[in-house]
Amino acid sequence: MALRRKLSPGMLRKFVGFPHGSFESLRPYAGSLHSRGIATVTHGIHVFHCPDSVGIVAKLSDCIASRGGNILVADVFVPKNANVFYSRSEFIFDSVKWPRSSMEDDFLKISNRFNAMRSVVRVPLLDPKYKIAILASRQEHCLVDLLHGWQDGRLPVEVTCVISNHDRGPNTHVIRFLERHGIPYHYLHTTRDNKREEEILDLIKDTDFIVLARYMQILSGNFLRSYGKDVINIHHGLLPSFRGGHPSKQAFDSGVKLIGATCHFVTEELDAGPIIEQMVERVSHRDSLQSFVQKSESLEKQCLSKAIKSYCELRVLPYETNKTVVF
């Protein structure tokens, strides 16, 4: 049985000596800093993955505390008999007293000390947003939801372009939206023998990761290796029972009672990459095919949006060969 340790404020105070009540929320601590004339309170996130060892939590906590930072959330996962350690911490700090470059150096020292496989720090207010490209086919529900999430600020990303193998007319709502916001739309006609992968690679070369928003084309292993970064995909949760065309109708005709959506990383094995997020909902005999499809598409939108948000907030870490730790 794996151990997942949620560190309480009291436990962390034991490590680093923070005052009572300082972990309850950002607001009280930020307010106290402002009352002392400190107006540069900034929020940071750090994730750590290394071989398990004594003193990791204490060292990470001391690093933040010694720079005047305050930990708000600390989550630790130590799988049984696996000798690995995972952690994710959220903290606030004075960005003048602890500059971004110094923070990087401080965490690097800890990373070297514990031979970390991964040590990533992110300061959302100071670091650039993740640049993403969205690939989509004819279905638009996930694409439109992502664009609105970006517009509303719910997704901390910068959409660099939308690529599709479906030619949308110049006066469609998606094209009008993209033109208003200056987001390029690239239509690339694909065939069985030409998936236009070289052209796609050229269009996405400056992105941090790409999102397949119901992109109904299989990306080759060569494409994935050439890109070399994460690719996130969404699909309905009716697999593997209902494959091929019209899976929702197949499931509806079969009288299923539970539908869902799965968001995962893309690997060379079709729809078998590490899962980031899954959602389910009950359906019944009262559902029509239309309401059945609407519920399924709604789950896909929610699932994909949550997965992207989790990814950008450094909540998703690789675990074993085909799993994820999602804090």
Query: Annotated catalytic sites, by residue?
Result: 271
Which amino acid makes up residue 303?
C
CA distance 110 to 316: 21
3-state helix, strand, coil in the chain (%, to 5): 35, 30, 40
Write phi, then psi, for 250 (nearest 5 degrees).
Answer: -60, -45
Strands 258-265, 231-236: parallel, antiparallel or unpaired by DSSP? antiparallel
* Residue found under tokens 């193998």: 165
Dihedral sign, CA of 154, 155, 160, 165? negative
Mapped to the 3 state alphabet, what secondary structure does 135-147 carry? EECCCCHHHHHHH
Nearest Cα residue to 144 out of 307, 310, 296, 297: 297
Could you count the other beta carbons within 10 Å of the beta carbon of residue 327? 21
Instruction: From residue 104, give the alpha-carbon distance in Å to each of 93, 98, 123, 160, 220.
Output: 14, 10, 11, 27, 36
- Decide: 138 and 172 in contact? Cβ < 8 Å: no
CA dihedral 55, 59, 60, 66 (to 10 degrees): 160
- DSSP helix/strand/coil, 150: helix
